[in-house]
Structure 1
Amino acid sequence: METVDLARMRVVPLRRPGLWTASTVAAVAFVLLAVSVWRNPNIDHAAIAQYQFAPAILAGLRTTLLIALASELVGLVLGTLLAVGLLSDSWVLRMGSRLYVWLLRGTPLLVQIIVWGNLALLFPHLGPFSTNAVLTPLVASIVALGLNEGAYMAEAVRAGLLSVDRGQYEASTALGMGRGLALRRIILPQALRVIVPPAGNQFISLLKATSLVSVIAGGDLLTAAENISSANLHTLELMLVATFWYLLVTTVASAGQHLLERRLGRAHRSLHEAA
């Protein structure tokens, strides 16, 4: 029987003409679309250059980042609490958490923002304070986005907690740890590898969803662009300015998510190799 010398064999890559053709067509179509938009005579490029770094636009960008970061923090804390409630032995906590997630995920985010922005119509006063004085457009934006984010983060955290082997819970109990201590020191650190990808995707979606608070004049990037365009009528130009900044911040967030996922993946592999 003839033997085969594997060392002298030459590996030939699989030819994939369909993939290369589709990729080329997609790239050419994207370039043609971008060029046609940029060369459109109805777009004032001088206005884009003028307002790209305008103080009002940069102030709106800072507000957008503030709203996104604050809302994500609220969502993470609330989502963790809701996830614990969803997995609780208490029927009341389970049903309460499920009802919250069902309600917030089942209604449009825009409706929730409008409700919080106009809460004074239902409750003119919150205790001794005026509702409008407490729930300013900025605060209402953070509350609406944060509460909505918590409903989505609850499912992400719940999936992460369920991914941890049941033996980890039992080992923590055997060491005398309470459920809260075990959750903080043993369970959550291991669940992060599963939680981070959907949490990162949610944050990127949240960055874009901040544009919805413009309906209550939340002071965000889109609100600033709309205010300027209403004065100079350069609507498309200001939308392109806002689009540039949204693309920039989401790209940075995506890169950060990728680096964090790689780091958690290496840590997970090192832990298994050590075990």
Structure 2
Amino acid sequence: MAVLEIEDLRKVYGGRAVVDGVSLTVDPGEIVGVLGRNGAGKTTTVECGIGLRRPDGGRVRVLGVDPRAERARVQQVIGVQLQRTHVHMSLTVTELVHMYRSFYRDGLDPDALVERLGLTEARDTRAENLSGGQLQRLSIALALVGRPRLAVLDELTTGLDPAARRGMWGLIEEMRDDGIAVLLVSHVMEEAERLSDRIAVIDAGKVVALDTPAGLIARVDGADAVTFRVHAPLQPTILTDLPGVDEVSVDGEHVRVAGPGNLVTAVTQTLMQHAIPATDFRTRTATLDDAFLQLTGYELGEPEPPKEAK
């Protein structure tokens, strides 16, 4: 059974569907990443998925249960870290983590979790006096202390330095190994690519692609390319006829060859066979950023443009 099932989800605000037919599942021990620009419908999808918002259409189930109809039951199996953390700011880190642990029948050792998340030195610090990075780690501790079956993490590593970010990634990978399902909303492509088993790309309230990171990258036109300079006349046909070459462009002495496979080896061997000297070889491999741009037409950091209500 899938831990989270979202089927044909719709949510309308002001006459506009901000979520328009989204469907996805998260299985035990699977990390599903969600990518989309600000305003694309990611957070609304997540909030409907865990029962914080009422959908206007579609079906949502957490371990087979409607998260709004059986809220108390669902709250025992999910842990949520959203972009905005609302905690009792006068309590210390230790007090908050122990208090949240008391809400669950089962859970993790609060003190061990505080140490694992690098909060030992701040354990007796009130939440109001924490730095942004410490508050982020606290919000993750509160999401995980109940040993959830489903963890929903929205902008997991915002405010963390590179070392802390990689430590957090390690923790999430351990959660997956323990069979916990994770729904990960992120603007960090490196994070999404490293952690996600599958990625849903949401644009204008719709899932425009759902695939593995490698599968999304493989969709990019001209995914791999090699560029170089030639120092003798070149007939492009000697390169276009090579297996795996999709495109050859020549601009004076500058040449670009695009396509899958080991282009450098094939191109250099061909140039040597035709006695064409070449220098300045550079290779480029497509990235998840390229895939997102091709799928949506925008960079990830660009906001969703406002639309008039119909």
User: More helix by proportion, 1 or 2?
Assistant: 1
Instruction: Report 1 or 2 for greater relative contact order, CA contacts < 8 Å, sequence distance ≥ 6.
Output: 1
Superposed pair shares fold, TM > 0.5: no
User: More strand by proportion, 1 or 2?
Assistant: 2
- TM-score normalized by the length of structure 1: 0.23
The structure number with the bigger radius of gyration is: 1
- TM-score normalized by the length of structure 2: 0.21
